[in-house]
Amino acid sequence: MTDRYTQAVNSGFTKTLATRLGLPRPALLRRYRAGDPLTVGPVLVLSDGASKADADELAQVLLGWDVDVRREPSGDHRWGAVLLVLTEAAQPTDVAEPVLAAGSVLRRLAGNGRVVTVSRAAADGDSPALAATRNGVDGFLRSVAKELRAGATGNGVVLNDGVAVSHPSALATLRFFLSAKSAYVDGQLLPVGGADTAVVDGPGSWERPLAGKVAVVTGAARGIGAAIAKTLARDGATVVCVDVPAAGEGLAATANAIGGTALQLDVTAPDAGQRILDHARTRHGGLDVVVHNAGILRDKLLANMKPAQWEAVVAVNLAAQLRINETLLAAGLDGLHIVSLASTSGIAGNKGQSNYAFSKAGVIGHTRATAALLAPQGGTANAVAPGFIETDMTSSIPFATREVARRLPTLAQGGQPIDVAEAIAFLASPSATGVNGQVLRVCGQHMVGR
């Protein structure tokens, strides 16, 4: 679905009129296209004194990615990104110089620019000052992200203790946040652990990181599910597209468009997990990625909700995922990456969606628990929590409510299905194996939840 207002205020006479009248003018977001530069201009790398060695190392990595790197906030540049490396900051006073230097150039941050922090997670045993400094970076980043304009975003890479800035998953996360693939990801801090199985970001791994992999996407006939299937295929995966028999025509169209296969299946069936596994093994020789996208809505105030409305939502959105995961875990698949669709409603709740919010919060819960079960075999379980995404489902929302939902995020617009798909493709990639048990919000920094 098209956000006609955003399109209108960014073109022709309407753009001029909107500017003169002081109307909100959401930016046209830059989204990924193969061959485009990683950033829209030079990257300024800043750090506190103790983190200088890490900043130097990341600067060299960026140079290897064909990025123009600068270390001083001088010159009349339109900055493509500001990278703040604060990995060794130990006292609140340590961060003042680099963050104020970043502030001095924000007015020259290009449209669709990026601010990215690289810091460390607070840990048990940290001194009060160290814990305060590390948590302080989180609050700083989320606030700065709300101040950015013209489609620029702010996100943070949060390293667990012992994880080097050069760890493949740290670099993959940094690259994702700097790139146009993260267009609708804003104000997010993604923890990175130290999985030994993460794949080094080598030649070709950015363009086709899933080459040779077999992926399953449920609810793939249309909307977000179809976008996920197409994006995984773009990144090199062979995709099994799953949906209910009633969606067979759309399912076949999606599968045919990407050279995948279609499996007509109700995910609530007791044997759904085994049928998925058997299809992937028989037709494609294995299974590497599972995306739990299938979901339904049955919105009602709790006082008006019928048992069937509660039970249907929980059965499709949550119980089916649990049952399928049990089968996959029992199969002992090495390196399996599971990505589940949660929702901002599962984080912050939403009026009239107590059933949906229960199911999506449950997805977050089982993702964190499943992550520990997959890790010994080099696998991961993560979740993506979309906010307002432009789909057929959101197009049915009454006009006034729909417009409010679009304008509340910091980016002042709804996301596109491709934005959710890009986040899922990143989490499914081998280089992201150090990201495990996490929830990545794709919501344009909507003012709900965390």
Active site residues: 356
Amino acid letter, residue 303:
A
Task: Pick the closest to residue 432 from 270, 255, 288 (CA basis).
Answer: 288
CA atoms in the 13 A half-sphere facing the CB of 295: 24
Q: Tokens 């997010």 appear where?
A: 188
Amino acid letter, residue 263:
L
Q: Which residues touch 127 (CB under 8 Å, ≥6 apart)? A: none
Q: Is 30 helix (H, G, I), strand (E, B) or coil?
A: coil
CA gap 260, 264 in Å, rounded: 13
Please tell me the total number of residues recorded for the chain in this structure.
Answer: 450
DSSP state at residue 269: S
Q: Which residues of 145-162 are buried (b: 16+ CB within 10 A; e: fewer)?
A: beebeebbbbbbbbbeee
Any idea of the CA torsion for 211, 276, 284, 176, to the nearest 10 degrees?
0
CA gap 38, 68 in Å, rounded: 10
User: What is the distance of C-alpha 368 from the center of its chain?
Assistant: 16
Residue 209 and residue 236 in contact, taking contact as beta carbons nearer than 8 Å: yes
Q: Tokens 């909700």 appear where?
A: 305
**196 — alpha (psi -120 to 50), left (phi > 0) or beta?**
alpha
- Tokens representing 195 are 């999985």
